[in-house]
Amino acid sequence: MNDNSGQGKSDAPTLGHSVVQSYLRLLDNSPGVYRMLNAQGKVLYVGKARALKKRVSSYAKPTGHTARIMRMISQTASMMFLTTRTESEALLLEQNLIKQLKPHFNVLLRDDKSFPNIVVTKDHDFPLIKKHRGAKKEKGAYYGPFASAGAVNRTLNQLQRVFLLRNCTNATFDARTRPCLLYQIKRCAGPCVGKISADDYAALVDDAESFLSGKSTRIQAALATDMAAASDAMEFERAAILRDRIRALTQVQQSQGINPRGVAEADIIALHMEGTQACVQVFFIRANQNWGNSDFYPRTGAGAGAGEVLQAFVGQFYAKKEPPRLLLLSDPLDDQELMQEALSDKAGRKVEITVPLRGEKNELVTGAQRNARESLGRKMAETATQTKLLKGLAEAFDLAAPPARIEVYDNSHIQGAHAVGAMIVAGPDGYMKSQYRKFNIKGENLTPGDDFGMMKEVLTRRFKRLLKEDPERKGDTWPDLLLVDGGAGQVSAVAGIMAELGVEGIALLGVAKGEQRDAGKEEFHRKGQRPFALRMNDPVLYFVQRLRDEAHRFAIGTHRAKRSKAIGATPLDDVPGIGAGRKRALLAHFGSAKAVSRAAPEDLQAVAGISARLAEIIYNHFREG
């Protein structure tokens, strides 16, 4: 891969077609990626080409372009190029650069979230079933993706009723001496205390995996046969249990809605556009079952067509996700064969991309497109409301313009313990949850409960990073408005912090609790101005309250997670070479971490998995400590 950039002719005009023309003599017809930059050096557009010279020469022509491309060319002051070995490699590089640089004229997938799976573990004699998100490092069978945590939780809840598999951790399982509540309410078979044999439990695991693999009809038939046999034998309690399991299995199937007969594995991707607004609806079909749907609202690059929007969406969506064997689309991609080749190379198997015109597949896409249309309608209505609120916010607090990015900060602690700072972000599209950040308070010299000190640490870390990553404020990560929980003292302190950092031009607003801390009687503080209040029924007041409450909710949740983790921590967590399994073994053998710290090396070696070398490491760790 080669990097090639620079101005072709010293006397070329600073902007427009002639600038593009000046680069042609530097290029050949290798595949690669090109970038178009404005006079400030900001990337306007990233594109890929089968033949760079041929592709770039099309921009040098003054006619034959859409209004969007004409605007882009007119702002172009320079270009950069990267050559690649193949066009497929160029396509993948293009999508990575778009996600990284976020050029104005490109289509951009703004919410690139991960999706949860269900995993049936394989590291225990009695496997557990649970939700999993992230890298598939744990030994087990994975089923997914599901569209949301809610879809997984609903499915797991019903599967527990049908197959009675445990969901407790291995440590909890090993420590139990009597059945838990889940056994009492018939949601678990009770393997922890011998209520079911290993063979019978293994049969339940096989049934659960068969269901997750799409073989639900066979399981239902087997359960119906067993229920009839139990009834004939007058084992009415067992027959009732089997009846409840059949009903639960039916509920799972009904909650999935669409369960296509002729599509075993596919992602259904449908696009609906209105003007420059777009919604992409994705349905996940696995094992002939619908595992939920999710909607996305990509930025359309100031007016791209359906083929370009879907092309960019598919490339960016599967950049870090494994594609299924089949993609069913509502519209053809601009370069469908190339995308199919790139995804097949990435997956190491054939991936087919098709736009179905008839039959069940077409019905699935039509249904997804209807969902996309309805979702976009709701989103546009919400955006209109949000735009009105931001405009009202600007008028109420004398801002120069409606803020495109609001950052709200809050702290949470208990007498200084487990202190965390939290930042939430909101803008024209509502809460930007992918931009939320948490800050573990590290200041060792802070007085417990020093909210000013904690806020100073959070803001210093936040804006030092911004100054390092984007000192010229070219990106969209700089806020227009800071909202802090507090009165004149807090506002003055924050203004001082910003002045120390040399950060100017960001509006600052403090929200102080009203009389007797009543919601609706808040006072608003700005540096150098008298505090004021908004009328009780002002929509802007409710909007600011929601922002503050969301920041408080996020801070509290982060604090509780940190506190829970600390409660479960032991001194063994810091010993090199001691993972969860050895930690459990040591605690089970000695009874406490304190007893482990006092044990001699020969006593430590008596624990399974602790070698002579590791025993010496543990012994020395606590002696050096």
Residue that has been written with the tokens 């359960």 in this structure: 223
Partnered with residue 279 across adjacent β-strands are 272
Q: Could you report the per-residue pLDDT of 407-439, keeping only the tens digit for each?
A: 999 887 655 566 788 899 999 888 988 889 988
Tokens of 417: 């313990």
Partnered with residue 273 across adjacent β-strands are 278
pLDDT of 566 higher than 80: no
Residue 217's pLDDT band, with cuts at 50, 70 and 90, is low
Domains of the chain (ranges; CATH) run 2-105 (3.40.1440.10), 117-255 (no CATH), 265-377 (3.30.420.10), 406-566 (3.30.420.340), 571-624 (1.10.150.20)
Tokens of 490: 């807090």
One-letter amino acid of 606: A
The residue-averaged pLDDT of 319-346 equals: 93
pLDDT at 191: 93
Partnered with residue 463 across adjacent β-strands are none
The Cα 408–Cα 423 span in angstroms is: 6
- On whether the CB atoms of residues 169 and 180 are closer than 8 A, the answer is no
Q: Could you report the per-residue pLDDT of 101-155, keeping only the tens digit for each?
A: 889 899 998 777 788 999 999 888 899 999 998 888 888 999 888 888 888 888 8
* CA triple 332-333-336, angle to 5 deg: 105
The Cα 498–Cα 513 span in angstroms is: 23
Q: Could you report the per-residue pLDDT of 576-598, keeping only the tens digit for each?
A: 778 777 888 888 888 778 888 88
pLDDT at 579: 79
Which pTM was predicted? 0.73
Q: Give the relative orientation of helices 198-212 and 149-163 as an angle to the nearest 10 degrees.
A: 140
- Cα separation of the two ends of the chain: 51
Q: Which of 314, 320, 309, 325 is nearest to 282 (CA)?
A: 314
From edge to edge, which strands make up the β-sheet containing 265-274?
289-296, 277-286, 265-274, 326-329, 352-354
Residue that has been written with the tokens 């838990």 in this structure: 180
Tokens of 238: 């067992």
Helix (H) or strand (E) holding 271: strand 265-274
